[in-house]
Copies of this chain bind each other. A is one copy, B any other.
């Protein structure tokens, strides 16, 4: 059963006055038709230093989301499995380590750095799945993502990944602008700052996308997989 529209992680930071102001946004939230999963920046760099508090890992590994990244690993693995079982394409974004020009040598450090932007092994793309290389926060900016979604016949998006207040938000806002009904999966997004995580999900939920819990998303995808098998 679907939980209440405001039954989300931001409950402890958003007060009653704000909820009253945002009351008109209340609506049913569902995965749209012909969806794709858009998996934002699930690269190794976000997991460095291991399953520990961000403040600790961040001293050595700038940009790591620490325990928030690790906590989202299993829900995201389950989300991907459900999407693949339902025949729903997964499109990844990541970046190249250096994008400013041609280099005269292929130093060893380049290979090491590039590895930081490979998708984490447990969530890695399967053969044929698309990886979009971007240079800005949004997966749409300066990339051919919109053209690929058009060619895949995608009509709505399921967004996950990191960071909630960075590339996830920028991508979800652009998805809305391009006219894709979009769902953001709460347990499969993460950030270094919990406050920014919560408030950005709140903003997205009311203005641009529907924030859903991973179990609800997976239940809907499983239903589609069953419908497809029965057909």
Contact = CB atoms under 8 A, between A and B. Distances in A.
A131 interface: yes
Interface stretch (A1-9, A35-43, A99-107, A220-228): A99-107
Contacts of A137: 173, 176-177, 207-208
Given A13-B195, A21-B193, A174 B141 contact: yes
Contacts of A15: 195
A21 B63 CA distance: 9
A188 B62 CA distance: 33
Contacts of A102: 125-131
A130 B101 contact: yes
Given A147-B135, A174-B141, A20 B55 contact: yes
A146 to B, nearest CB: 6
A211 interface: no
Contacts of A202: 196
Copies of this chain, count: 4
Interface in A77-134: 99-104, 125-131, 134
Interface string A149-176: 1110101000000000110001001101
A145 B129 CA distance: 25
A192 B21 contact: yes
Contact of A138 (B103, B146, B177): B177
A199 interface: yes
* Residue from A135, A178, A180, A202 whose CB has the most chain B CB atoms within 10 Å: A178
Which 10 A/B pairs are nearest by Cβ-Cβ distance?
A142-B144, A150-B179, A104-B127, A199-B199, A136-B177, A151-B179, A147-B179, A101-B128, A102-B125, A141-B177
